Amino acid sequence: MTLSYATTDFIEGGVISAVILLNIIVGFVQDYRAEKTMQSLHSLSAPLANVVRDNGQFVREKAEDLVVGDIVKISVGDIVPADLRLFDGMNLEIDEALLTGESLPAIKSPSLTLPHNVIVGVGDRTNMAFASSTVSKGRGLGIVVKTGMNTEVGMIAALLRNEGPIAKVSRFRRWCQGFKKGGKNILGLIGTPLQVKLSKFAIVLFLFAILLAIIVFSANKWQINNEVLIYGICVAVAVIPESLIAVLTITMAVGTKTMARGNVIVRKLQALEAVGGVTNICSDKTGTLTQGKMIAKKAYIPGLGLITVHDAIHPLDPTSGKIRHKEFTPSDSLSEGSGNDVDGEFVGKSAPLKMFLNAIALCNLATVSKSDRSSHSSAETLGEIGWSATGEPTEISLQVLAMRFCHGKQDLLNSGAWKLVAEHPFDSTVKRMSVVYQRAGRKSLDVFTKGAGEVIVPTLTLDEEQKDDIMRLIERMAGEGLRVLCVAHKSLPDPSLANNRAVVEQGLNFIGLVGLYDPPRVETKDAVRKCQIAGVKVHMLTGDHIRTATAIAHEVGILTPAIPAALASTIVMTAGQFDALSDQEIDELPQLPLVIARCSPSTKVRMVEALHRRGAFCVMTGDGVNDSPALKRADVGIAMGMNGSDVAKDASDLVLTDDNFASIVRAVEEGRRLFDNIQKFLMHLLISNISQVVLLLIGLAFRDNHGVSVFPLSPLEILWVNMITSSFLALGLGLEEAQPDIMLRPPHDLRAGVFTWEVIIDKMIYGVGDGQLGAKCNEKFWEPCHTVYRARATVFAVLSFLLLLTAWEVKHFSRSLFNLNPAKHQGPFAVFHAVWYNRFLFWAVVGGFVITFPVIYIPVFNTMVFHHMGISWEWGVVAGCAVVYLGIVESWKAVKRRCGWGSGKNYRLEGTWRGGFGWIMGSGKNWGQARLRQGRIR
C-alpha cells in the first residue's frame, strides 16, 4: 500500500487501503463477538453462594449479587463469597493463608464477641469469615457485612492498584518487562498453546517471505526498480496467511459456546484444544455415571428383620412406593418375594427400628421438604411432584427413608427431645460420620455413626464370627448393585468426651445396614460404548464397595462379561490393593484397572501419574476439596457443577453443569470437531499461499522484452484472494459440523499437533497442483500486453475457483466430496446435501464465485486496478482446470483410502456398524451388510 502511494499509483493504493480497512472492520466485529461470547461463558463459572432469600429458603446466587445483610451458608470446599459475621457453625475451620499467611486453617468461634473500641487483627477475628478464603472443615452461617472492594481482600487489591513505589524494581527493568510483554502480545506469543504455536508458525512464514523476496531480487541480479520491488513484495505477501489467527480465535469462541450448550463450561482454553485428544477418562460413579438420585431399597435391622422399599418412582417423595417387612437373618436370602406391608405406625411397635431411624435421621445433614415449584432454586434437587431436597444424594435417600415412617430429622428436632452437642463430619480418608446428641431427660449422650462397612464393623462390640456374618451380608447386598452403609450407636456417659473423635467412634453397637440403589443414567451405557469405539478407555474411580462398583461397571459397559484370565485379578481393584503396589509394579501391569473401589484422593493422583508414565492423555473428574490435586495433575480436570465444591471448580479446566458422564463424551466430540476444523481451515489457507508462491516463482521465468518478470497475478489480485476470498472460506470451515465418523477414530496425537504429515503432504499436493495449472494458463506471457492481461485474468479466475472447490474438498481429508455422508445421503445428489448443510461456507463459496465476475469484467476497474481484462474463450481453460484439479484431488483421496494413509486408515469400512451409533463411512454401494476389511477399531 505504501509503495503504491510512493509510486503515485493512487488508484491501486486506494483500493488496497479499502480492502485492508474492510478486513479490519470484519475482523474487529468477529473478534468483538468472540470476546463477548467468552465473557458470557466466564460469567457462567462465576462463584456462587448459598443465600437466604424472600421465601426463607437457601438459593444459589452469584457472589457478586450479595448485599450487606444477606444470610449466607458456607460448608466444606466453599470459597467465602463476602466478609461474613458468623453467628452459627459446627467444627468450622477456614484457610485464610492469603490474608494472614498462616499455614494452618483458622478455627472459628461464632459465639465470640469482640469489643468495639479495640482494633483486632484479621487472624484474631475468629467470629468472622473473610471473602476469598476457603472452608476446609465444618459448616457455618453468617451475615454479610462487607462486599466487593470493601472486603479485606478487596482493600488489598485497592492497595495494589494504587500508583507508587510498591515493587522495588528499577524503572528501566519495568520498561524492559513491559516492552517484552507488549512485543509478545503483538506477535501473538501470549495465549493458548495452539495460538502460540500458530503465531510462531506465522513468524517462520514471515522469515520465509523475506527469503522469497531475496530470491526474486537475486533472479533479477539485484537490479531493483519499482516493478522488481513490487514483484518481490507480492511473493512475500503471498506466503503469509493474514487471517490465520483471527479465524482461530473465532473458531475457539464458537467452540466454547457450543460446549456451554452441551452443559460443559470451559474455564481454560487449553482444555478446549486438548480434550479432543484424550485417551483415558477417569470418572466418579455417583451422580456422573449414575443418576445421583439414590433410593434406600433395603435395610437390615437386627432384632427386626429386613425392610424393603418397592415401586418407589420419585426418589424425593417419602409417600412414593410401598414398605415391606419380613423376618430375616444374615444367612437368609435377600429375595423380596415375601413379607408384609407396613406404614409409619410400625415404628411404635419396634424399638430396634426406632433406634435405626433415629440414627439415619440425626446423623444426616440433608433436608427434604415439600415446596412450591416457584420457590425452587438451582441449588435444590426437585422431585417430580414438588418435593425438594438439599444435601448429598446418600444422605437425602436416608432422610427420605426415615420420613417414610414419619421419623425425619425435622420432626425429631421440633419435638424438643434432641439437642446437637458435637459433630464429626464425613471425610474421604476416614469414610464415616458421627454426631453426638443430648436427649431430654438423660445425662448420658447418644452417639450415632454411619459409614462404610469395612470402617464401622471393626469398631463394633461384637465377636469375630458376628462381624464376619455382617461383612458377608454387606458383600451380598453390594453384589446387587447397592451402596451399603453400616449404622451404629452407643451411649457416651462423659459429656466432656463428645469432641474426642477417637473415643466417640470406638465401642459402637451395631443397629443396622442400609442398601442404597443409584440407577445408572439412561445415556451412560451408550456414552461408554461410544468412548470405547473412539479408542478412549473409561475408568471408574469410586468410593463405593468393590461389589457395588463391579455391578454398576458391568451394567454401564465399562466391564464386559468375558474378562481375559490374565486381567481378572487386576482389572478391578480396591484402593488399598492399588496403593500397595509400587510404581514399578503398577507399570508392569498388563493393563491399568478399569474399576478402583474405595478410592481415596491420593489413589486418584497415583492413577493419573500411572497413566502419564504410559504416555496416556487423561481426563479426571472430581467434586470434593481433596480431589483438587488429581484435577490439577490430570491433563484435563473436570469438576462437577451441581455438587462440586468451589475449590474443585477452581482447580479444574472444565465444569459440568449437569454432572453427567455423557456431557464429558460430548466435550471430547466437540474437542475433536474443533481440532478437525482447525486442520481444515489451516490447510485451506496454506494451500492458497503455496499455490500463489509456486505460481509467482514460476512466473520469474517469464520476462518481457526489457527482461522484467511479468506478473502472473497483480499485487491487488493476491491481496484480494488472501483477504477476501480465502478468509471467509476459512471462517466457514471453522464452523463445520462434526463429521459422522468423528467418534469412530482413535484419539489424535497431541504431540504432533495440527501439523500432521497428512496435512503437510495434502497442502503440498493441492497447492503445487494449483500452481502448475496456473502456470499453464500463463504460457502466453510473451504476447503483447493485451494477451498478458487476458492471461492474468484467467489465472485469477482459476486460482479463485480452485480455492472455492478446495474449501469443499477439505471438509474431509480422505472421504469423497460426492460421498461425504453416506449414512444420510447417497446417490448422485448426495453432493448437494454435503455442500448445503454448512450454510455459512455455502454462501461464502457462492459469494466468492459471484464476485469474481465483476472483478474481471467491470471496465476501467479491471484494467486500472487489478491489471487484467475481460476474457471469453478462456473460461474453457478455467473450467478444464477445475475439472482436472477436482479429478486430481479425488484421485489422491481414493489412493489414501485404498492404501490406508492418514485419515484413510479409518475409512476402509463398508456398511453399517450394528451397535446403535449410526453409519460408518465406506465407498462401496452395498450398505446392507457391515463388514470390516481391516481391523481399525480397537
- pLDDT tens for each residue of 571-629: 999 988 999 999 999 999 989 999 998 888 888 999 999 999 998 889 999 887 678 88
Sole residue written with cell 434437587: 381
Beta-bridged to residue 198, according to DSSP, are: none
Bigger pLDDT: 626 or 291?
Answer: 291
Sole residue written with cell 464429558: 664
One-letter identity of residue 913: W
Whether 374 shows a pLDDT value over 60: the answer reads no
pLDDT given at position 357: 94
The closest of 15, 9, 7 to 719, measured between CA atoms, is 15
Buried b / exposed e across 54-86, counting CB within 10 Å, b at 16+? eeebbbebebeebeeebbbbbbbbbbbbbbbeb
pLDDT given at position 794: 85
pLDDT in tens, 712-761: 777 777 778 877 788 788 888 888 888 777 887 777 655 544 444 444 45
pLDDT given at position 781: 37
Cα(912)–Cα(426) distance, rounded to whole angstroms?
50
Sole residue written with cell 484397572: 593
Q: Which of 99-108, 397-406, 436-445, 663-672 has the lowest mean pLDDT?
A: 99-108
pLDDT given at position 936: 34
The closest of 185, 217, 181, 187 to 200, measured between CA atoms, is 187
Beta-bridged to residue 48, according to DSSP, are: 62
C-alpha cell read off for 922:
465406506
pLDDT given at position 300: 93
Report angle CA 763, 694, 238 to the nearest 5 degrees. 85
pLDDT given at position 508: 95
One-letter identity of residue 274: A
Q: Which of 339-353, 371-385, 399-413 has the lowest mean pLDDT?
A: 371-385
Phi, psi for 540 (deg, rounded to 5): -105, 120
Whether 172 shows a pLDDT value over 80: the answer reads no
Stated as kind and residue range, the H or E segment containing 757 is: helix 757-776
SS3 at position 460: strand
Sign of CA dihedral 847, 852, 853, 859: positive
Q: Over pLDDT 70: what percentage of the chain? A: 79
Beta-bridged to residue 49, according to DSSP, are: 61
pLDDT given at position 282: 93
The number of angstroms, rounded, from the C-alpha of 551 to the middle of its chain's C-alpha atoms is 28
Mean pLDDT over 799-828 rounds to 80
Cα(892)–Cα(763) distance, rounded to whole angstroms?
12
Q: Over pLDDT 90: what percentage of the chain? A: 20
pLDDT given at position 910: 36
Whether 296 shows a pLDDT value over 70: the answer reads yes
Residue 78 annotated to the active site = no
Bigger pLDDT: 345 or 125?
Answer: 125
Residue 526 banded pLDDT, cuts 50, 70, 90: very high
Q: What is the mean pLDDT of the chain?
A: 78
Catalytic residue among 284, 544, 653, 762: 284
One-letter identity of residue 714: S
SS3 at position 522: coil
CB 625 within 8 A of CB 647: yes
Whether 222 shows a pLDDT value over 90: the answer reads no
Residue 315 banded pLDDT, cuts 50, 70, 90: confident
Residue 568 banded pLDDT, cuts 50, 70, 90: confident
Sign of CA dihedral 706, 708, 712, 715: negative
Phi, psi for 265 (deg, rounded to 5): -95, 125
pLDDT given at position 897: 78
Cα(386)–Cα(683) distance, rounded to whole angstroms?
55
Q: Which of 13-17, 181-185, 414-418 has the lowest mean pLDDT?
A: 13-17
SS3 at position 224: coil
pLDDT given at position 740: 77
Cα(50)–Cα(523) distance, rounded to whole angstroms?
31
The number of angstroms, rounded, from the C-alpha of 904 to the middle of its chain's C-alpha atoms is 28
Pairing of strands 482-492, 509-517: antiparallel
Residue 923 banded pLDDT, cuts 50, 70, 90: very low
Cα(154)–Cα(450) distance, rounded to whole angstroms?
42
pLDDT given at position 31: 59
Q: Where are the alpha helices (DSSP H) in 436-595?
A: 453-456, 464-479, 501-504, 524-533, 546-556, 575-580, 583-588
pLDDT given at position 401: 93
Pairing of strands 595-597, 537-541: parallel
Cβ-based burial of 135 (10 A; exposed 0-12, middle 13-18, buried ≥19): buried
pLDDT given at position 768: 46
Sign of CA dihedral 125, 129, 135, 137: positive
Sole residue written with cell 470451515: 733
pLDDT given at position 488: 96
CB 449 within 8 A of CB 507: no
Which long-range CB contacts under 8 A does 641-645 form with residues at least 24 apart?
A: 641/265, 642/287, 643/287, 643/292, 643/392, 643/393, 644/77, 645/76, 645/77, 645/78
Residue 464 banded pLDDT, cuts 50, 70, 90: very high
C-alpha cell read off for 748:
489424535
Calculate helix-pair angle for 546-556, 524-533, nearest 10 degrees: 70
| The CA-based dihedral angle spanning residues 544, 545, 547, 549, taken in that order and rounded to the nearest 10 degrees | 20
Q: Which of 165-179, 224-238, 404-418 has the lowest mean pLDDT?
A: 165-179
Bigger pLDDT: 35 or 737?
Answer: 737
Cα(422)–Cα(439) distance, rounded to whole angstroms?
13
Cα(621)–Cα(538) distance, rounded to whole angstroms?
12
Q: Which of 205-219, 223-237, 392-406, 801-815 has the lowest mean pLDDT?
A: 223-237
Mean pLDDT over 863-875 rounds to 79
Cα(490)–Cα(506) distance, rounded to whole angstroms?
9
Residue 459 banded pLDDT, cuts 50, 70, 90: very high
Whether 429 shows a pLDDT value over 80: the answer reads no
pLDDT given at position 777: 31
Cα(467)–Cα(302) distance, rounded to whole angstroms?
13
Q: Count the Cβ atoms, other than its own, within 10 Å of residue 820.
A: 22
Whether 638 shows a pLDDT value over 60: the answer reads yes
pLDDT given at position 688: 78
3-state helix, strand, coil in the chain (%, to 5): 50, 15, 35
SS3 at position 84: strand
Whether 378 shows a pLDDT value over 70: the answer reads no
Bigger pLDDT: 781 or 905?
Answer: 905
Whether 917 shows a pLDDT value over 70: the answer reads no
pLDDT in tens, 229-287: 766 777 777 777 767 767 777 777 788 888 888 888 888 777 877 888 889 999 988 88
C-alpha cell read off for 249:
480465535
Mean pLDDT over 443-453 rounds to 93
Residue 445 banded pLDDT, cuts 50, 70, 90: very high
